[in-house]
Amino acid sequence: MAPPNTEHLQTGNAANMQTGEARAVGNDKAGIVWEAREGPEPMLGKAGRAGMGSGRQNAGGADGVGMMQPWAGNVFWPMQFPPYGVPGAAGHGFQTGVFGGSSASQGGGGFLDELARPPFHNMSNGSNSSPMGPIHPIAESAPSAGGVRQSAATEAAPPSMPVRANTMSTEVTSAPVQLVMTQEQFNEAVSARVRAELAKNDYTLDKRLKRIKVRPEVRHAVRKCALRLMGCSKKVPSTHSRLKPYYPLPAPLAPGAEKRKDRDGNDLWNPDWDSPVDQGVNADFIEAVVGVVLQTGVVTYRLKSRWLAEPALIKHAAQAHFRHLRRQFNYRKDGNGIRHLLAKNSKDHRQARRSRKANRRRKVIPPFRKAFGRGETEGIEQLIQTPLMSSEASTDGEADPAERERMREEQGAGRKALETHTMMLRADQLNRLYATLDAFARVQEAEEDGRSSGPSSSSSDESDSDSSETSSGPESVSTRLLNTDDNIDLPELERAAYRAQVAAKIRTVQAGDSQFRYDRFRGPRANYRTSLRRTKKRLVVYKECLNVKWVSQSTKNQRVYDKAEAAPAWMTIFQLQVPEEFFLNEDRGYLADSEKGFDELE
């Protein structure tokens, strides 16, 4: 990263600080180190914020000028503090890093408030050192040849802060500089660094939600401890056949009622499910759960001590689990809640099936590229999105049960088969691409299961043990036809030969794989999906993904099409023509339904 533009900083901060000056001091491999010089005229300021080790300045004065010192760490604070910062009392104030530092004021206040977060330094040792040495006020020196003052101090430093000259000023001020980070970008960089440091302590970052998550082992311990403190040791059967067994959660205690006891005479908790998680008995219950996890986690649940280094994150996990238990308790209070729970479980199951289907198709993108060429398949990753996957349901839905049963029997599916709801909004080209990926996935699963050839693959365990050559044949892991790690762009002749091999394998696998896969069947048209599924995550749907007949069905569909983006020119996947030999027999019916469905629905 290049040093900052000193001239720009002088001009900009002079306008903000009226008569102040600012300049760059130095940089190293870790990042840019910044310094500000107080101006000759005082600037009115308000008192700083108190807080030890929080990254905010301790109490500062009401009037006066201050000085920012170099910061240690890999992230720098750009010289944008005058609009956000708060100057402290007269003197030279500085502050150490966010984590592990003292956050003390020396000789006056600093520039920080809640809008301007300082960068942080090494969290492991808590030192306030920088590549130039400890952070101290910098002695005054004459301007350099370029007109940039090399260091700054106009008053004597306090006795506890020895004056130290900056030896890196000359080197940096002679380099070309430019401003490269805004305040918003800086805040994002600090947040990213915090998450990276926490991740090193065995906490994980949820990339989608942008938050830190506790390890699964710790969450498991939190759940077990919470249930144990409430006396919930065993699950009981549900009153509904489609609901799983559950833990019978205790009802809130009546006023003046005596607490329950366990077998050892210890008090059991009765949370108040109608109150917030951080109030009353619920807050005490959460603290008790955190305490038990910290005390018994290493011995009872075999947790590593470093996993328990952040009690605040464990408390967050306990609060999240409390909210889950509260929902479960309220669901089972009456029949209406049971109906809501059934609907929620059905929705969760369908969402999970769509996610698995999307992941299954993403897994075979490398062999798909190998078969059809990288240049002809650009953009295939962007087309595989969970909301665009078809639903698979085990209920009748809007269809006539008799018609649904008839279609299931005609297609030879079992009684527990899932009905696939055809997505009418998807373009024919998108359906054909999905069908091709499904065929590749079927072959890949057959190879992983060791099925080398259709009907002969259903041999007994004894025949498998007698023939040791089968495991080392062409279906072994090292010589699989569809290797997900093989992302090679073959020449055209070799690519054609590879496609022929894949097509032959698709025909072979279809001959005898019905017993290895779950049943599914095409359901009645009453259950076809004709609207785009809502999602919290931003869904990028290109115009080429939408069926033109579906768009013409209603003004709502037309608005969806108008808001959709056109596929960029580099996406060549929409021009790829896939031969029908790469479709499974069962998927040919889906393709036919989607192509003629609008005519029969009208």
pLDDT in tens, 506-554: 888 876 555 445 577 877 878 787 887 777 677 788 999 999 999 998 9
Q: Which residues pair with 546 in a beta bridge?
A: 426
**If you average pLDDT over residues 224-238, what whole number do you get?**
92
Contacts 24+ apart (CB under 8 A), 529-534: 529/390, 529/391, 529/421, 529/422, 529/423, 529/424, 529/425, 530/424, 530/425, 531/425, 531/556, 532/387, 532/425, 532/560, 533/387, 534/387
Per-residue pLDDT at 342: 85
**If you average pLDDT over residues 119-128, what whole number do you get?**
37
Question: Of 105-114, 251-260, 494-503, which gets the smallest average pLDDT?
Answer: 105-114
> CA 261 to CA 267: how far, in whole Å?
5
Instruction: Give 469 or 590, the one with higher predicted confidence.
Output: 590
Instruction: Give 587 or 283, the one with higher predicted confidence.
Output: 283
Instruction: Give 153 or 250, the one with higher predicted confidence.
Output: 250
Q: What does 464-488 look like in DSSP terms, one character per residue?
A: HHH-SSSTTSTTSGGG-SS-TT---
pLDDT digits over 210-223, tens only? 566 788 999 999 99
> CA 521 to CA 409: how far, in whole Å?
9
**Given the structure tokens 């130039």, which residue do they identify?**
132
pLDDT band at 324 (very low <50, low <70, confident <90, very high): very high
Contacts 24+ apart (CB under 8 A), 514-517: 515/458, 516/445, 516/446, 516/449, 516/451, 517/442, 517/445
**If you average pLDDT over residues 120-142, what whole number do you get?**
37
pLDDT digits over 303-318, tens only? 988 888 888 889 989 9
Give Cβ neighbours of residue 101 (< 8 Å, ≥ 6 apart): 53, 95, 120, 121, 126, 128
Say yes or no to pLDDT of 292 above 80. yes
pTM: 0.52
Per-residue pLDDT at 594: 60
**If you average pLDDT over residues 357-384, what whole number do you get?**
93
First to last CA, the chain: 62
Note the Cα 535 to chain centre separation in Å: 15
Per-residue pLDDT at 252: 94
Strands (E), 379-523: 392-393, 418-420, 520-522
pLDDT band at 576 (very low <50, low <70, confident <90, very high): very high
Per-residue pLDDT at 301: 92
pLDDT band at 489 (very low <50, low <70, confident <90, very high): confident
Per-residue pLDDT at 502: 92
pLDDT digits over 330-367, tens only? 988 877 888 888 888 888 888 888 899 999 999 999 99
Q: Report the percentage of the chain scoring pLDDT > 70.
A: 57
pLDDT band at 572 (very low <50, low <70, confident <90, very high): very high
Per-residue pLDDT at 381: 93
**If you average pLDDT over residues 34-60, what whole number do you get?**
33
Per-residue pLDDT at 513: 54
Say yes or no to pLDDT of 287 above 80. yes
Give Cβ neighbours of residue 312 (< 8 Å, ≥ 6 apart): none
The four Cα atoms 55, 59, 63, 66 give a dihedral, to 10 degrees, of -40
**If you average pLDDT over residues 32-41, what whole number do you get?**
36
Give Cβ neighbours of residue 184 (< 8 Å, ≥ 6 apart): none
Q: Would you say 61 and 88 are in contact if contact means Cβ atoms under 8 Å apart? A: yes
- The shares of helix, strand and coil residues in the chain, as percent rounded to the nearest 5, are 40, 10, 50
Helices vs. strands in the chain: H and E counts, helices first: 17, 11
pLDDT digits over 395-439, tens only? 667 678 888 888 888 877 777 788 888 888 899 999 999 999 999
- Mean pLDDT, the chain, rounded, equals 67
- Residue 543 burial (CB count, 10 A): 16
Say yes or no to pLDDT of 105 above 80. no
Per-residue pLDDT at 6: 38
Give Cβ neighbours of residue 260 (< 8 Å, ≥ 6 apart): 231, 250, 267, 268, 270
**Which 3 state secondary structure label does DSSP give 496?**
helix
**If you average pLDDT over residues 72-94, what whole number do you get?**
34
Q: What does 123-175 look like in DSSP terms, one character per residue?
A: TTT---EETTEE---B----B-TTS-BS----SPPPTTS--B--SSHHHHHTS
Per-residue pLDDT at 484: 60
**If you average pLDDT over residues 219-242, what whole number do you get?**
90
Per-residue pLDDT at 295: 93
Q: What angle do CA 478, 479, 482 make, to 5 degrees?
A: 105
CA nearest neighbour of 586 among 516, 514, 527, 528: 514
> CA 171 to CA 303: how far, in whole Å?
50
Say yes or no to pLDDT of 108 above 80. no
Per-residue pLDDT at 346: 80
Q: Would you say 1 and 99 are in contact if contact means Cβ atoms under 8 Å apart? A: no
What Rg do the C-alpha atoms of the chain give, in angstroms?
33
- Residue 344 burial (CB count, 10 A): 12
H or E element in which residue 16 lies? helix 6-17
How deeply is 214 buried, as exposed, middle or buried, from its count of CB atoms within 10 A (0-12, 13-18, 19+)? buried
pLDDT band at 490 (very low <50, low <70, confident <90, very high): confident
CA nearest neighbour of 92 among 150, 140, 132, 130: 140
The count of residues in the chain is: 602
Q: Would you say 373 and 399 are in contact if contact means Cβ atoms under 8 Å apart? A: no
Give Cβ neighbours of residue 580 (< 8 Å, ≥ 6 apart): 588
